[in-house]
Amino acid sequence: MKMRVLAVSVLLLAPGAALAQTAPQPSAQGDVSVTIYNNGQALVQDTRRLTLANGVNRQEFPDVSDRIRPETVRLSVDGASILEQNFDYDLLSPSALIQKAVGQTITLVRTNPATGAETRERAKVLATNGGVVLQIGSNIEVLRDDGLPVRVVYDSLPPNLRARPTLSISLDASGGGTRPATLSYLTTGLGWNADYVALFDEAKSTIDVQGWVTLRNDNNVAFTNADTVLVAGAPGQGRGGNAGMAPGTLPGTENARRARLGDFYLYPVGHRITIAPNQQKQVSFLSVGGVPAKKLYQYRNDWYGSSSDPVSAATVLSFSSSKDGGLGDALPAGTVRVYIRDAKGQPQFIGENRIDHTPMGSTLAIRTGEAFDVKVKPAVDKREKINSGEWERTEKFRISIDGGKPTTVEREDEVTYWRTTMSYTVTNARPEPVTVDLVQAGLDRSYWHDTRVSSESIKGEQRSLDERLWHVTVPANGSTVLTVAFDTRY
């Protein structure tokens, strides 16, 4: 038996002959509704009309998602119950056809490049492990693809290959007739995210915001003319908080006029859409102009943080999502990209950052970059022990032993405390004064919980146990030094 290599350029798939080019089959879906979550998961509800006979029926539902979660399938149909269901996802393809043909006989069609004449011969498929091995007469041949005009013709299609993902369901109907049936299931491969384009007018201190939803369909199946609802949230999964929000972002307490699903807001697409296979689609959901906004400068320093060189303050854009004087909506998580007009009036990109799901009425502070002209130089000026009497020398306790009369016990304990004096030199090279929101963090360490500010050159605000904030005003082309003394146990 001889062994040779047979060149093949294209594997054409046809039952008995080469397939002709045909138009795509129309979708078998009915009235489709899609609810898409932020975690790449979606709920599909597809209402189709079924014609059932009395007794056991086998119904096929082609054009379901190829990433369907079969265990989540639910079929609602009057007068019928589900006996069994199967999801057939072994799809028709050149590789699937040749794999299913192992042990079967196929036809090889060779075309003479010079004359166009075709010759045919029968071949048995022996194996498809890393390549196609054929037996032609007494010869063993291997197919390879090097551009020569050879094709493969199949006598028939294997019965277990599907052109489209298909759900097969066996039903027991109590009576015959045509009736609607709603197929519901969860699927992966569908997701969405929000993006925002913000145009900031620094002269007017206003901002225009356009919100876009980007839908993604990573399935090989289209969802045709679907009533689509987007859910701002990921059921069953945790969400991170305050992603990309600068200090000063405050959560709102206003109720947005939107439908809810549990604790999540719904963002319905205003018209039916077709989400094509492997497609991204963008839909507008927010367009607001002339919202009051302002530019801020912020700097956050870690405990004992010092720098030999000045560090740029962050540039922050602050605005509200409130109904009055704001965007007037709850904002799904996404990326905010900020533009500002140049001297010619052309919008220019200046930075971007992410926001988390944000209630209506929130004050947002979006970091857009680092300031060129506004710098901060933190320094630890002094670390010194302080007398415990300046802090606390005695403690009194009321104790009761074995249920006896309570007595007062006083304890005197000498403890070493430390005073850390820090300075923050803030410089401004701009031709107008600026205010820098300066935050010192790390005040509530795991090994102490009683940090005290014994002196400060500018009155600060305690934002939390861990952070204190100062509004430092810096004159045009000038500097301001903030000095603060912190008393700690360590």
User: Which pLDDT band holds residue 297 (cuts at 50, 70, 90)?
Assistant: very high
* Domain identity same for 352 and 419: no
CA 378 to chain centre: 37
Which residues are registered as beta bridge partners of 35? 43, 229
Closest CA to 36 of 331, 275, 263: 275
Strand order from edge to edge, sheet including 139-144:
3-7, 139-144, 132-136, 118-127, 105-111, 150-153
Within a domain: 302? no
Same domain, 180 and 198: no
* N-terminal to C-terminal alpha carbon distance within the chain: 88
Nearest of 58, 24, 65, 23 to residue 44 by alpha carbon = 65
Total domains in the fold of the chain: 3
Dist. CA 202–CA 210, nearest whole Å: 18
Beta strands 105-111 and 118-127, pairing class: antiparallel
Pairing of strands 118-127, 363-386: unpaired
Residues 352 and 391 in one domain: no
- On whether residue 356 sits in a domain, the answer given is yes
- 381 in a structural domain: yes
- For 104, 137, 195, 196, 431, the CA distances from 98, given in Å and listed in that order, are 10, 19, 45, 49, 75
298, 313 contact by CB (below 8 A): yes
Q: How far apart are CA 351 and CA 207, in angstroms?
A: 14
> Which tens digits make up the pLDDT trace of 386-396?
876 655 656 67
In this predicted structure, what is the pLDDT of residue 1? 41
Task: Tell me how far apart the alpha carbons of residues 207 and 201 are, in angstroms, rounded to a whole number.
Answer: 6
Q: Is residue 34 included in any domain, yes or no? A: no
**DSSP character string of 330-375:** -B-SEEEEEEEE-TTS-EEEEEEEEE--B-BT-EEEEEEEEEEEEE
pLDDT class of 15 with cuts at 50, 70, 90: very low
CATH of residue 403's domain is 2.60.40
Q: In terms of Cα–Cα distance, which of 280, 274, 219 is closest to 29? A: 274
User: Could you say which of 137, 171, 188 is where a domain stops?
Assistant: 188
Predicted pLDDT of residue 246: 47
What's the pTM? 0.67
**Final residue of a structural domain among 167, 188, 209:** 188
Letter for the amino acid at 442? G
Higher pLDDT among residues 239 and 269, named by residue = 269
**pLDDT tens for each residue of 217-234:** 998 889 999 999 999 866
Q: Residue 21 is part of which domain span?
A: 1-29+55-188
Among the ranges given (289-303, 359-373, 378-392), the one the predictor scored with the smallest mean pLDDT? 378-392
Question: Does 169 share its domain with 287?
Answer: no
Which of 173, 188, 203 corresponds to the end of one domain? 188
Q: Does the pLDDT of residue 93 top 70, yes or no?
A: no
Q: Which ranges of 46-150 does DSSP label H, i.e. alpha helix?
A: 94-100
Q: Do 396 and 366 reside in the same domain of the chain?
A: no
Task: Give the single-character DSSP code of 72.
Answer: G
Q: Is 389 left (phi over 0), alpha (psi -120 to 50) or beta?
A: alpha
Do 106 and 135 lie in one domain? The reply is yes
Which residues are registered as beta bridge partners of 301?
Answer: 440
251 is a domain residue: yes
Q: Are residues 132 and 160 in the same domain?
A: yes
Question: Do 143 and 66 fall into the same domain?
Answer: yes
Percent of the chain residues past pLDDT 70, beyond the cut = 81
Task: With respect to residue 45, please indicate whether it lies within any of the assigned structural domains.
Answer: no
The tokens for 162 are: 């599907």
**Same domain? 170 vs 257:** no
Looking at the structure, do residues 96 and 174 belong to the same domain, yes or no? yes
| Structural domain contains residue 333 | yes
Position 144 scores a pLDDT of 63
pLDDT of residue 163: 57
255 and 345: one domain?
yes
For 294-310, give the secondary structure using H, E and C: EEEEEEEECCCCCCCCC
Residue 48 lies in a domain: no
Same domain, yes or no, for 224 and 343? yes
pLDDT at position 129: 76
Closest CA to 22 of 13, 34, 30, 32: 13
The residues, ordered by sequence, that sit 6+ positions from 220 with a Cβ below 8 Å of its Cβ are 66, 91, 165, 277, 278
**Between the CA atoms of 24, 28, 30 and 32, what dihedral angle is there, to the nearest 10 degrees?**
-70
